[in-house]
Chains A and B, each alone.
Chain A
Amino acid sequence: MSTPLSGLRHAALMALLALPAAAHHSVAGQFDVTRTVKFAGTVSRVDWINPHTYIYVDVTDAEGKVTVWKLESLPVAMMRKAGLSRQDIQGDGKRVEVVANPARNGTAGLGYIVNLRYADGRNFQFGRDPSDKSAATE
């Protein structure tokens, strides 16, 4: 049930996500943090590198055509602090549901990870999904 206060919280969240410029991570310089795309696939490759790790997800459509999404994420040190390893992200080739911010320059198949949910129930949240209305009802 929404309340006036939850509406204020939602507005504050949207303001935070939309904040540009100084002292912010350059994610906002590459990706639209006010929007998300959602899809499912399997992790085909993990680049455990700096300054950002990259995760490649193969998405197969109804006709069997495969699109590879290239997804940017946190530096290795932040992943390790979260207790996540390359193997954790690889997911053993099982299905993973992805929520990502799309690229601002319109590059297809490029995004910044907001959330990964694996078939075994593990969920790795890297940010708040701006389209997640449940945040407004907390």
Chain B
Amino acid sequence: MKSKIVLSGVLSLCMAMLSWAAAPVSTPRMANGHPDLSGIWENGGGIDFLKPQKLANGSVCIAGCAGADPASAPGAVRPGLPPDRPRYKPQFQARVAELAAKQVQFDPVLRCRPPGLPRIGPPDKIVQSNREVVFLYEDVSGPFFRVVPLDPKATRNDDSETWLGNALGRWEGDTLVVDSRNFNDESWLTDDGAIHSKQLQVTERLRRVGDVIEYQATVVDPVMLAEPWVLRPRRLTRTDIEFGEPAPCIEQDLQHMVDDTHHTNPR
């Protein structure tokens, strides 16, 4: 009888511990009830493949390490999902293919120009108030930000064509929907010559559950694309590591290029 009581107590304690361990992180909310997306968000930055090894005596092995997967080296050809690319109308396909083949000659990002949207990827930091959401980015091309007003009557003092679009946000339930327009036509949608027109429209959806944001973007270009491009969703995880001053982008490589070897720009 005594052993049954002890066993029951142990089982109850275990269930309580499991329940505590399995309890999901609650989603923080603003005073107005909307989820608070504020925070610093890791999305892998396109360099999840990099698996540095910390060794003895402060040594580090980044690539070519003993026992490492060659696919973890910077610039290695990695198996996995096929490239996420838009589908162009037939009259633009040859031009896109030409730009992809000669990327180093034409890619604006290789000249430290802004990457554009959605190429810049999900935001690295979000600061949210009741009237706006601000996206901050630490990008290879430099630091960028986007202000997303939540009031449709918000105005800007400059609506001219932009690299990252003029955004307007609204809530659909617990999902922040960001519509961006007013793009210039100087950026690429991807690394592979994916040009676009000034009629580009980008819609992003962000939904926070606990300490994770589900991020997804859809691209529409009625001039150039054969259909809407629905990008693969991205998963953002919250981190407490603040990013420091973003490094400046100062291009010094192109003068030494001897051929059109492609340059990957993971984000």
List chain A positions with a Cβ less than 8 A from chain B: 16, 19-30, 47-52, 54, 72, 74-78, 81-84, 88, 103-105, 107, 110, 114, 120-129, 138
Contact = CB atoms under 8 A, between A and B. Distances in A.
Contact of A25 (B59, B251, B263): B263
A75 B104 CA distance: 17
Contacts of B138: 77
Contacts of A16: 70, 76
A24 B59 contact: no
B74 A107 contact: no
A110 B59 contact: no
Contact of A83 (B60, B77, B256, B259): B60
Contact of A51 (B57, B140, B261, B262): B140
Nearest to A86: B247
B10 interface: no
A28 B263 CA distance: 9
A2 to B, nearest CB: 17
Nearest to A72: B253
Contacts of A77: 45, 47, 138, 140
B52 A29 contact: no
A104 B258 contact: yes
Contact of A24 (B47, B66, B77): B77
A30 B258 contact: yes
Interface of B: 45, 47, 50, 52, 54-55, 57-66, 70, 73-77, 104, 110, 112, 138, 140-142, 247-253, 256-264
B63 A128 contact: yes
A124 B66 CA distance: 13
A20 B77 CA distance: 10
Nearest to B67: A138
Contacts of B75: 24-25, 27-28
A27 B57 CA distance: 29
A77 B138 CA distance: 9
Nearest to A52: B253
B253 A51 contact: yes
B62 A28 contact: no
B111 to A, nearest CB: 10
Given A51-B253, A52-B253, A122 B58 contact: yes
B150 to A, nearest CB: 31
Given A19-B77, A124-B62, A50 B261 contact: no
A105 B254 CA distance: 12
Contacts of B66: 138
A126 B47 CA distance: 15
Given A24-B261, A50-B140, A52-B253, A78 B62 contact: yes
Query: What are the 8 A-B residue pairs with the smallest beta carbon separation, nearest first?
Result: A25-B75, A128-B64, A29-B261, A26-B263, A82-B52, A76-B247, A123-B59, A125-B61
B52 A83 contact: yes
Contact of A81 (B52, B110, B141, B258): B52
B62 A82 contact: yes
Contact of A21 (B61, B140, B250, B262): B262
A74 B257 contact: no
